[in-house]
Amino acid sequence: MRELLLEIWTSVRRNKLRTFLTGFSVAWGIFMLVILLGSGNGLKNGVLANFGTYATNTVSISGGWTSQAYAGYGKWRHIDLKNNDLEIFREEFPEIVDVAGTAWYRGSTASYGERFADIVLRGVLPGMQRIEGTEVVKGRYINDADIRACRKVIVIDEALERLLFPGEEALGKAVKIQNVIYRVAGVYKGDAQQRNSLGYIPITTGQLIFKGGDRVVDNIVVTVEGLRTDTEMEAFERRIRTRMAAEHHFDAADESALWIWNTMEQVRNMMVVFGGINLFVWIIGLGTLLAGIVGVSNIMLVTVTERTAEFGIRKALGARPASIIRLILTESVLITAIFGYMGMVLGVAAMEAVNYVLTQAPAGGDGPTVFLNPTLNLSVAVSATVVLVVAGLVAGYVPAYRAAQLKTIDALRYNK
């Protein structure tokens, strides 16, 4: 093996500039492939980051307005979902794992002593924490006991804690909102994109205080399992419409009466789009790399031409065609791999630099994230390695085959 590498090094050293220029085209091709893959990965991560910790296997159901009369009921009737609908979803739909309801109540002012801050109240069930991935940093979230007893407790975010309780412990303190006193049960990690603080209260407490006991739920969020195809998902949504239509007396075909937002479908559609983008990136990147492969193949053909007499002597001394093929393929793979790895390292370094700049830059306003963490994972590095090896073999095959087919007498007579 040592002799083989020495022969390759001697051949490369005789043609330094030609080898460098050819290798540069390979490095540039793999560099662009890494940059394109990293950019596609950053775009994908940015879009998925907008879901945050929210569960992606959720379906959200909320009442709408009927667009047609039905069974004696008038047109343009608002459909109000109620607490008993939560039980229907729990008991009659085996695909559903978690069921949670939520209701929004108008914005107001939270006060503690002489300190004030704007707040929006949201009535929730305990399951909403699992669905949304809310991170409680102090105390606890709303629990079942709060729901049953209609307790006046609240879970506030860190921003509100800093405003109302600077240097103090918020847990157990009384916060006044619209002349109602709530005890702080927990503090959660807030969202920097929210303009006003958001406080979670038991949904039954909110219904009692703000709705006069009317058990209205603004929307119901469920997590589902076992629905893997579009046909299964469509059948599931039809069953929801049919059951809710029977419960609230509207036509099941009236889509405006019930709004269903399928997060699973949205995520799956995005994955299809990103899969297409990834395929397009590989095609463009491999096309760029192909130019480098052609260059390596050309330089190997020139090498074979220049060493024709040498190969003739080798054959005359008993060298087998396989040894000549191994020499040419090894040289081709080494040139491609060395320069290709240089391009890959530079590409990865460029993506890491971009990621560093993004992490150091301040958050850009309240808009959604578009580009995030454009780094590459191990699978991409392995794929690029395979591409490099295959590219080297492809580039060296034709010259190696040509060298192996040389007739000994013709090679010995060859005069450059």
pLDDT tens-digit readout, 272-320 = 877 787 788 778 777 776 777 777 777 767 766 766 676 677 777 777 7
pTM score of the predicted model: 0.64
**What does each C-alpha distance from 95 to 91, 92, 216, 302 come to in angstroms?**
10, 9, 24, 66
Question: pLDDT-based confidence at 378, cuts 50/70/90?
Answer: low
Selection from 289, 409, 230 nearest residue 28 by Cα: 289
CA atoms within 13 A on the CB side of 137: 11
Model confidence at 71: pLDDT above 70: yes
How far apart CA 388 and CA 341 sit, in angstroms, is 8
In whole angstroms, what is the distance from residue 281 CA to residue 285 CA? 6
- Give residue-wise pLDDT tens across range 158-189: 999 999 999 889 999 999 998 899 999 999 98
